[in-house]
Amino acid sequence: MTRGAKVRETGAEARALDDGGGAHVMSWVIAIMLFLTLLAGAAGLATARAAGALDRQMAGRLTVQIVEGEAQRRDAAAAQVLAVLRTQSDVARATPVAQADLARMLQPWLGDDAEAAGLPVPALIDVDLTSDDSAAIARVRSAVTRASPAARVDAHATWLGPVGRLLDTAAWLAGAIILLMLAATTAVVMLAARAGLEAHRGTIEVIHMLGATDRQVARLFQRRIALDAGIGAVAGGVLAGGAILLIAGQVGALDSELLGGMRLGPVDMGALVALPFGFVLLAVVAARLAVLRQMRRML
Amino acid sequence: MANIVQFENVGLRYGVGEETLCDVSFTLRSGQFYFLTGASGAGKTSLLRLLYLSQRPSRGIIRLFGEDAVILPRGRLPGFRRRIGVVFQDFRLIPHLSAADNIALPLRVAGMAESEIARAVREMLNWIGLAERAGARPATLSGGEQQRVAIARAVIARPELLVADEPTGNVDPAMAERLLHLFQSLHRLGTTVVMATHDWHLIERVPGAHHLHLEHGRLVDPDPPMPPPAEARASTIVRSGL
Ligand SMILES: Nc1ncnc2c1ncn2[C@@H]1O[C@H](COP(=O)(O)OP(=O)(O)OP(=O)(O)O)[C@@H](O)[C@H]1O
Ligand SMILES: [Mg+2]
């Protein structure tokens, strides 16, 4: 082999090993995986919060309806039921819903002055129980129906239950997605670390031959990967943060009682903010394992 | 005078097949200048690789700096490597580092302070006549300039043993002579030098230098003492044909 050929080979290697030579796989991997994981995480946590808020709203709450066409009889029955409710030890609080409030709530559907038009409007009583067990609900229900056959008792848990279960399922699903994302990220980060190692192989071999210890080489490579991963984490984090803020703003603007529970608390925020750091750490650990394993194969 | 290197019946086999090095025995004394010659493929690089601990022998004994290098645990190799300067046949400069940073590498690996490194590197760049190319990347240097950077990197840490694999292979005769002077001045400072070369004329230029000659992986007497390279190759070809 001629000397000249070897020199040209060295030149070609130079371009292949250059910093710009596609060694930034890690930045892309981290940015994309982090973006997706943060979105799934925010959605999952917010949904879990909403489910929790709903649970608290439903637990131990009843609505008593007195359905009676004639207003005077309706009001008398309502007063009687209210009096009975207030003697029950299971009842913490019983509040009649003012007819004016009810009329306002019904106004969009029934038009102004529904009562005057002869439409029967029920009387409503909101009841908070001291406990949310079904025995207490049953006791209150039987006391109420004994007081007035026109009274109907609705436990909130009964009719909001399916919504709560849906939210619970969605939150669990988000959790599962996050776990899968973390597993995929770990695998891809390992591959990216190995790709980075391959890109810097020549450099690493030379530094090794100049008397660098395995830990010195590992530290060098870790720093390189930490930088790449850091760039990716900032990019993915900023994009995901923007998307989350956008959606949070839109949810807030909805003014919906159900979606209003989708609020991230400080703990949730902390967990989401910790994710990018976790990803960079993961990349660094993967890089370290990859480089140390390769170093041990060298003399 | 202490022995810095000792080979006893060293054999090296890459994979299966014939041994690339066979029954190689020699001693290098501290502070001496050694030339290693041999036809292309005779095993010069292979022998030097054993010397700078990039390869373990298949058999035999290698003593380096008074210790058994064959059974040396991996963890102790870096310490030994720092005492050896190597000019690789293919230079192995790091492409995305400047000439100055390439030269500084051994000192950085050894953990020297940056201020001291800067001074040593400047001195080195002057020595090889590349002060004005300090910031140049290897790809923008000529073959001979790259070679000089590789030499500077090998000697900057003042190694006890300098191993140079055809360090004058890419340069014109005048530059070859200049580079040889670099090695000689380092040698005068006490470094043991082992230089593989095809250029038998260089050997005459270093008075008192020793000469090791490889043929088909075996050390033989360089006989006749100074045959012109063409003749040496011809005799090798004749022998391999037999
Ligand atoms: N890593 C390797 N794996 C397998 N065979 C190898 C390896 N390195 C060298 N060889 C073989 O060993 C023999 C000696 O090679 P070596 O590089 O030591 O020769 P050399 O004397 O340095 O030649 P040159 O003057 O061309 O540099 C050659 O036949 C070569 O093909
Ligand atoms: Mg060679």
pLDDT of residue A17 exceeding 50:
no
Give the model's pLDDT for residue B7.
95
Size of interface A-B (CB pairs under 8 A): 81
Nearest-CA residue for ligand 1 atom 7 is B14
Q: Best mutation site among B46, B81, B149 for testing chain A: the one with the most A CBs within 10 Å?
A: B81
At A55-113, the pLDDT tens digits run 777 777 888 888 887 878 888 888 888 888 888 888 888 888 887 777 777 777 777 66
Is B82 in Cβ contact with A213 (below 8 Å)? no
Q: Provide the CATH number for the domain around residue B150.
A: 3.40.50.300
Q: Region A174-186: what's the mean pLDDT?
A: 89
pLDDT of residue B63 exceeding 50:
yes
- CA B40 – ligand 2 centroid, Å: 7
Give the model's pLDDT for residue A165.
84
Q: Is residue A188 within 8 Å of A246, Cβ to Cβ?
A: no
Q: What is the mean pLDDT of chain B?
A: 87
**Is the residue at B235 inside a domain?**
no
Please, which residues have CB within 8 angstroms of residue A21's CB and are 6 or more apart in sequence?
A: A15, A199
DSSP single-letter state for residue B129: T
Please, which residues have CB within 8 angstroms of residue B232's CB and are 6 or more apart in sequence?
A: B37, B39, B200
Considering every ligand atom shown, identify the ligand nearest to the alpha carbon of residue B16 and give its number: 1
Query: Given B56, B94, B106, which is nearest A299 (Cβ)?
Result: B56
**Pocket of ligand 1, beta carbon within 6 A:** B 14, 20, 38, 40-46, 89
**Is the residue at B57 inside a domain?**
yes
CA distance, residue B221 to nearest chain A CA (Å): 25
CA atoms within 13 A on the CB side of B169: 26
Cα A37 from Cα A276, distance rounded (Å): 10
Give the model's pLDDT for residue B194.
96
Residue written as token pair 């990220």: A185
Give the model's pLDDT for residue A2.
38
More confident residue, A112 or A142: A142
Query: Given B89, B95, B170, which is nearest A13 (Cβ)?
Result: B95
Cα A86 from Cα A98, distance rounded (Å): 17
At A155-171, the pLDDT tens digits run 877 777 788 888 888 88
Q: Region B171-197: what's the mean pLDDT?
A: 88
Query: Given B81, B137, B166, which is nearest A210 (Cβ)?
Result: B81
Please name the residue of chain A whose CA is at the shortest distance from the CA of residue B142.
A7
* Ligand 1 pocket test, candidate residues B44, B50, B166, most atoms within 8 A of CB: B44
Triad B96, A236, A179: Cα angle to 5°: 115
- CA B42 – ligand 1 centroid, Å: 7
DSSP single-letter state for residue B131: G
Nearest atom in ligand 1 to the alpha carbon of residue B214 is 21
At B94-132, the pLDDT tens digits run 988 899 999 999 998 888 888 899 999 999 999 888 999
Q: Best mutation site among A209, A292, A293 for testing chain B: the one with the most B CBs within 10 Å?
A: A209
Please name the residue of chain A whose CA is at the shortest distance from the CA of residue B52.
A209
Is B79 in Cβ contact with A211 (below 8 Å)? yes
Cα A272 from Cα A291, distance rounded (Å): 29
Please name the residue of chain A whose CA is at the shortest distance from the CA of residue B157.
A210
CA distance, residue B146 to nearest chain A CA (Å): 9
What is the spatial order of strands in the sheet that B21-29 belongs to?
A: B21-29, B3-12, B59-64, B67-68
Q: Best mutation site among A1, A2, A7 for testing chain B: the one with the most B CBs within 10 Å?
A: A7
Nearest-CA residue for ligand 1 atom 1 is B14
Q: Region B210-228: what's the mean pLDDT?
A: 79
SS3 state at A19 = coil
- CA B198 – ligand 2 centroid, Å: 10
What is the spatial order of strands in the sheet that B161-165 belongs to?
A: B84-87, B161-165, B192-196, B33-38, B210-215, B218-220
Cα A221 from Cα A215, distance rounded (Å): 10
Greatest mean pLDDT among A153-162, A253-262, B40-49: B40-49
Residue A25, phi-psi category: left (phi > 0), alpha (psi -120 to 50), beta (remainder): alpha
> Residue A255, class by beta-carbon neighbours within 10 Å (0-12 exposed, 13-18 middle, 19+ buried)?
exposed
CA distance, residue A200 to nearest chain B CA (Å): 10
Domains: count for chain B: 1
Is B40 in Cβ contact with A1 (below 8 Å)? yes
The B residues from 156 to 215 touching A (CB cutoff 8 Å) are 166, 169-170
Query: Given A14, A202, A205, which is nearest B139 (Cβ)?
Result: A14
CA distance, residue B134 to nearest chain A CA (Å): 17
- CA A2 – ligand 2 centroid, Å: 11
**Is the residue at B233 inside a domain?**
no
Q: Is residue B218 within 8 Å of B188, Cβ to Cβ?
A: no
Nearest atom in ligand 1 to the alpha carbon of residue B49 is 18
Residue A166: other Cβ atoms inside 10 A: 13
Nearest-CA residue for ligand 1 atom 6 is B14
Report the b/e string of A206-240 with b at 16+ CB within 10 A. bbbbbbbbbebbbebbbebbbebbbbbbbbbbebb
Q: Region A216-238: what's the mean pLDDT?
A: 89
Q: Region A47-51: what's the mean pLDDT?
A: 84
B115 touches chain A (CB under 8 A): no
What are the Cα distances from residue A15, in Å, to A271, B16, B138, B140? 41, 34, 11, 11
Residue numbers in B near A7 (CB within 8 A): 91, 143, 146, 170
Which candidate, A20, A228, A15, A22, places its Cα nearest to that of B137? Answer: A15
**Is the residue at B71 inside a domain?**
yes
> Residue A183, class by beta-carbon neighbours within 10 Å (0-12 exposed, 13-18 middle, 19+ buried)?
exposed
Residue B39 belongs to domain spanning: 3-226
**Is the residue at B179 inside a domain?**
yes
